[in-house]
A = this chain, B = another copy of it.
Amino acid sequence: MARQKATQSIQEFPLIRQLQRRHERKDPSIITGIGDDAAVVSFTATDWVVLTTDLLAEGIHFDLTTASLSSIGYKAAMANLSDVAAMGASPRFLLTSVAIPNSLRTADILALYKGFMSACRQYKVQLIGGDTSASQHGLFLSVTLLGTTERKKVLLREGARVGDSLYVTGTLGDSLAGLQLLSNAHEHGTGTARLPHADRKFLINRHLRPTARVREGQWLNQIGIVTSAIDVSDGLSGDLRHICNTSKVGAEIDISRLPLSPACRTYATSTNQDPSVLALAGGEDYELLFTVPETHRTRLERTAHQRNFSVTRIGHICAASFGIYCRLRNGRKKPLPVSSYEHFRTAN
């Protein structure tokens, strides 16, 4: 959510993208450059290399008065791990650049690095370098991750075809619910006091300690039937739009099929919210959204079951001319709102 806001406020970005594309020569070693979750390059006989970088700025992406340094470090690394997961690759090596304001103490910096490393350890990723500097104003982080994948084996945003089924791993909306619990931002109900402790803990943990779906991404890459994939970092609505734009298709999602955790349902009830709004609008769930041809649905669902991976079919791909719609519980269709949580609340 925060990342979307930041992007939208900078008018120069389309220009930069244009400029970058212009300078991205037709080099055969670049498989995918700017525009996917990560860049993919080829320079060895056996592997392709996946590279992704994320920049986090204080006051834009995080607020030191509400977020701990440890969770900022953890989430910065996890955002990159999720990008590599969405390519179906194995994350390997992390580099961190940190500009540190005078206001931070030694313990803060150690907490930040412990956050980086706590995320890396889960995936046996090595922190191999980086740069540190003073900052006159605010904390800035830039995290770069290198992953590898077998040659010609990679999941891209492009490739979704009309008729493909649209799937998502895990559950959606938990991270936004956790954020609302942390920030007491939700004014609809007064019921969160009655929310079971385990549910509260689960949702906050999903926000502060999300899990990148690295194993799931590698599995989707290996089975060879996935036509497109992305991680849900900006929110289902925004990320589905990326797949549709890149693949030049439309989509219809079925609101009643959105996978929701019991904790998210309980939270939504206790705060008088529609949980599907949380699922559509919430970012940072870091689940994988992907497409599979109709003919391979059974195979996908069977092997998911064997591996004990949760995947849910939430809709299908349509022609670009159809647009991007959601089918409501009453059977009516509505265009999928573009971005913010407020937008969803009024539109649904």
Contacts and interface: CB of A to CB of B under 8 A. Distances in A.
A110 B47 contact: no
B128 A24 contact: yes
Interface stretch (A133-141, A201-209, A216-224, A247-255): A133-141
Copies of this chain present in the complex amount to 2
Interface string A1-41: 00100110111110110011001110101100110001101
A95 B39 contact: yes
Given A45-B45, A113-B19, A129-B34, A144 B7 contact: no
A92 interface: yes
A210 to B, nearest CB: 18
Nearest to A35: B129
B15 A106 contact: yes
Interface in A144-202: 144, 146, 148
Contacts of A49: 49, 146
B13 A132 contact: yes
Given A25-B126, A126-B27, A57 B11 contact: no
Nearest to A146: B51
B55 A10 contact: no
A130 interface: yes
A100 interface: yes
A65 to B, nearest CB: 14
Nearest to A21: B127
A16 B99 contact: no
A49 B45 CA distance: 14
A79 B13 CA distance: 25
B41 A97 contact: no
A93 interface: yes
Contacts of A61: 133
B45 A95 contact: no
A34 B96 CA distance: 11
Given A129-B34, A129-B38, A6 B134 contact: yes
Contacts of A29: 92, 126
Nearest to A22: B117
B127 A23 contact: yes
A89 to B, nearest CB: 12
A294 interface: no
A6 B126 CA distance: 26
A330 interface: no
14 contacts: A10-B134, A11-B106, A15-B110, A30-B126, A39-B93, A41-B93, A45-B45, A51-B146, A53-B144, A61-B133, A97-B142, A137-B137, A140-B142, A142-B144
Given A34-B128, A34-B129, A39-B129, 13 more contacts: A3-B133, A10-B100, A15-B110, A23-B127, A29-B126, A33-B126, A38-B129, A39-B95, A41-B146, A51-B128, A51-B144, A54-B131, A59-B136
Closest 8 CB pairs of A and B: A137-B137, A142-B142, A55-B97, A44-B44, A59-B136, A39-B128, A39-B129, A97-B142
